[in-house]
Amino acid sequence: MPSLKQLRLRIRSVSSTKQITKAMKMVAAAKLRRSQERATAARPYSQRMGRMMRSVATIMDGQQGSPPLLSGYGDDVRRIELVVLTADRGLCGSFNSGVVRAVRNRVVELQREGFAVTLTCVGRKGQDVLKRQFGAQIRKTHTGIAHRLTFHTVEREIAQELVQAFEDRQFEVCYLVYNTFKSAMSQVLTWQQIMPLPNDAAQKNQDGPRGSGSAAASAAHETAAASEGKKKGGGRHHAVQSGGSGQGWSQGGGGEAALLQSMNRQAAAVEEEESGSTSYFFEPDEGELLNALLPRNVAVQLFQALVESDASEHGARMTAMDNAVRNASEMIRKLRIKFNRTRQAAITTELMEIIGGAESLKG
Amino acid sequence: MAVSFQLDIVTPERLAFAEEVLFVTVPGQEGVFGVLPRHAPLLSAVKPGVVQVGDDSDAQFFVVSGGYAEVLPTRVTLLVDDVIARKDINKEEMEMVRGKASKQLAGMPPEDAEYLFLKNRVQFADACLALCRQGEAR
């Protein structure tokens, strides 16, 4: 049985922890608002960039000598690069661990299938954990990017190096792994291929017959306007449920994956209508334009992923801290009951002693 | 039906302008071009310069830095690194930006990764200042 003094100390310590978590929650909320605005503001650019990319790509598709960034290195894929976006700081629930766990499972899986996997870590937390198991495979680490998250810094510090490495053929395919921001409460783990440019035309054709028929398609047209703000780079994201099933987050991810897919389908429907078969004039000519656009598109997609991930981080931290505050309150409540009970027990014992003493004197 | 088209000016950081307009001029890499509704589809690189929105009488002016323009019959999208409206241009600030960028640029080999970016900045600032002077002359 802890003494009264010990209990009082426990209560005080839990209270101050609660104060700290509460403060962290407020800070996260304030930061979240800003990051969320930025993520939302950045979406139009990356969406339109994606759309423009696809129109050019469709025209260039199948032509001789199209650059590897567009058409890849053929079927000869042996090396895969994963760009892992995590936070620099912890205390944000399963935000970092979710990404890391997914990456770890995937890397093991890919290696079993005979691929060589290299990693680029953006964010300190991911690197901290991954270097234990895959130290030798980490090609590059970028930290502190969140403090200077502008398009220019992202392009110069990360994207250019990645594109260079791709063109030097250090790897044949490159994926981004990050959390897409949905709301403060939920982040969707997303796998997105950025190099070479994912071939949507082929995917679209597969989607058609397999999808839920024309009824769904026409319904999609109606809701398309509403989802305009939500659609993410039109059909280029794949939320994948990976590796170990039965884990809380991956179950949630599955439902959200379906949602994302349906959103992507809607987006694809709109695009087909808008720019499906337009033939453009190019200025300068398409080859030159394409060569400038392709690396830029990588930077744009990366930037978008980073702002999404940044907003997700603050959302996750806010939620985690909110839970911590609630747990602390609950703990304080329990301790206080125990404290009161112990105090009352002490008083009762004392009273009994006094009464007993008085009785014996009377005797 | 009023003949107009949707003009969007977008930067990686924000959607700067989105309205129905009747006319716009764009500083394309191979010369300034004007766009009226129902223009043929065109993809063009954009260099730093002035974008004029609307006809002479009630025109709005923007300065854009480099980027790309997608022209469709009912929609024009400018994807640019940076954009500033004429009324938001601060002359002293722009001169400072220009001075700083051109100082950094001096003596830098053209193959430096920063070279193009800085050159772009200088041209952007130049376009802003030119637009200011033009405004004052009127």
**Predicted confidence band of residue B130 (pLDDT cuts 50, 70, 90):** confident
pLDDT given at position A62: 62
Look at domain A22-277+287-319 and name its CATH class.
alpha beta
For residues B65 and B100, state if they share a domain.
no
Among the partner residues B13, B43, B72, nearest to A41 by beta-carbon distance: B13
Query: Residue B96 belongs to what domain range?
Result: 89-137
Q: Which residues of A touch B112 (CB under 8 A)?
A: none
Q: Read off the pTM.
A: 0.77
For residues B112 and B81, state if they share a domain.
Answer: no
A151, HSE (Cβ side, Cα atoms, 13 Å): 24
Helix (H) or strand (E) holding A109: helix A95-112
Q: Are residues B69 and B117 in the same domain?
A: no
CA B9 – CA A261 distance, rounded (Å): 28
Distance CA B130, CA B73 (A): 31
Report whether A299 contacts A159 (CB < 8 A).
yes
- Chain B residues closer than 8 Å to A275 by CB: 72
Domain shared by B100 and B56, yes or no: no
How far off is chain A from B58, nearest CA to CA, in Å?
27
B93 and B130: one domain? Answer: yes
CB contact under 8 A, A41 and B70: no
pLDDT of residue A351: 95
- Alpha carbon of B11 to those of A136, B7, B46, B61: distances in Å? 38, 13, 13, 16
Yes or no, beta carbons of B43 and A41 under 8 Å apart: no
| Residue whose tokens read 């722009």 | B94
Per-residue model confidence (pLDDT) at position A1: 66
pLDDT of A100: 93
**Residue A150 to residue B28, Cβ atoms within 8 A:** no
Q: B50 and B74: one domain? A: yes
Contact A1, A341 (CB under 8 A): no
| Predicted confidence pLDDT, tens digits, chain A (363 residues) | 688 899 999 999 999 999 999 999 999 999 999 999 888 888 889 888 888 887 777 776 666 667 788 877 877 788 999 999 999 988 888 899 999 999 999 999 999 998 999 999 999 988 898 988 888 888 888 988 888 888 888 888 888 889 999 988 888 899 999 999 888 888 889 998 888 887 654 444 433 333 333 333 333 333 333 333 333 333 344 444 333 333 333 334 444 455 555 555 555 544 444 444 567 788 788 778 888 888 888 999 999 999 999 999 999 999 999 999 999 999 999 999 999 999 999 999 999 999 999 999 886
**Residue with more model confidence, A223 or B8:** B8
Same domain, B9 and B72: yes
Contact B15 A44 (CB under 8 A): yes
The Cα–Cα gap between A138 and A141 comes to 7
Q: State pLDDT tens for residues B12-61.
A: 888 889 999 999 999 998 889 999 998 988 889 999 999 999 877 778 89
Considering the domain architecture, whether residues B11 and B34 belong to the same structural domain is answered as yes
Candidates B12, B13, B41; nearest CB to A279: B41
* Residues belonging to chain B with any Cβ–Cβ distance to chain A shorter than 8 Å: 8, 10-15, 28-30, 40-45, 68, 70, 72, 75, 77, 79, 81, 113-114, 117
| Contact (CB<8Å) B81/A151 | yes
Residue A196 in tokens: 């070479």
User: How many C-beta neighbours within 10 Å does residue A327 have?
Assistant: 14
Q: Which residue of B has its CA nearest to A304?
A: B12
Is pLDDT above 60 for B133? Answer: yes
Residues 6+ apart with CB under 8 A from A243: A101, A102, A105, A106, A109, A250
Bigger pLDDT: B122 or A112?
A112
CA distance to partner chain A, nearest, from residue B59 (Å): 25
Q: Return the number of other C-beta atoms located less than 10 Å from residue B45's C-beta.
A: 18
Q: What is the pLDDT of residue A22?
A: 95
Task: Select from B41, B60, B85 the last residue of a domain.
Answer: B85
Judging contacts by C-beta atoms under 8 Å, the chain A residues touching residue B29 are 283-284
The two structure tokens encoding residue B99: 């001075």
**Mutation choice for B interface testing from A280, A285, A308 by most B CBs within 10 A:** A280
Kindly report the three-state secondary structure assignment for every residue of A141-168: EECCHHHHCCHHHHHHHHHHHHHHHHHC
Cα A10 from Cα A21, distance rounded (Å): 17
Is residue A283 a contact partner of residue B29, using CB atoms and an 8 Å limit? Answer: yes
Nearest to A321 by CA among A98, A12, A20, A13: A20
Is B21 in the same domain as B56? yes
Comparing C-alpha atoms, which of A138, A130, A337, A284 is closest to residue B31?
A284
By CA distance, what is A38's nearest residue in B? Answer: B13
Domain ranges of chain A: 22-277+287-319
How far from B121 is each of A204, A339, B118, CA to CA, in Å? 40, 67, 5
Dihedral of alpha carbons A215, A218, A220, A222, sign: negative
- Cα–Cα distance, A195 to A198 (Å, whole number): 7
Indicate yes or no: CB of B42 within 8 angstroms of CB of A292. no
CATH code of the domain covering residue B65 = 2.60.15.10
**ipTM score here?**
0.82
Count of domains in chain B?
2
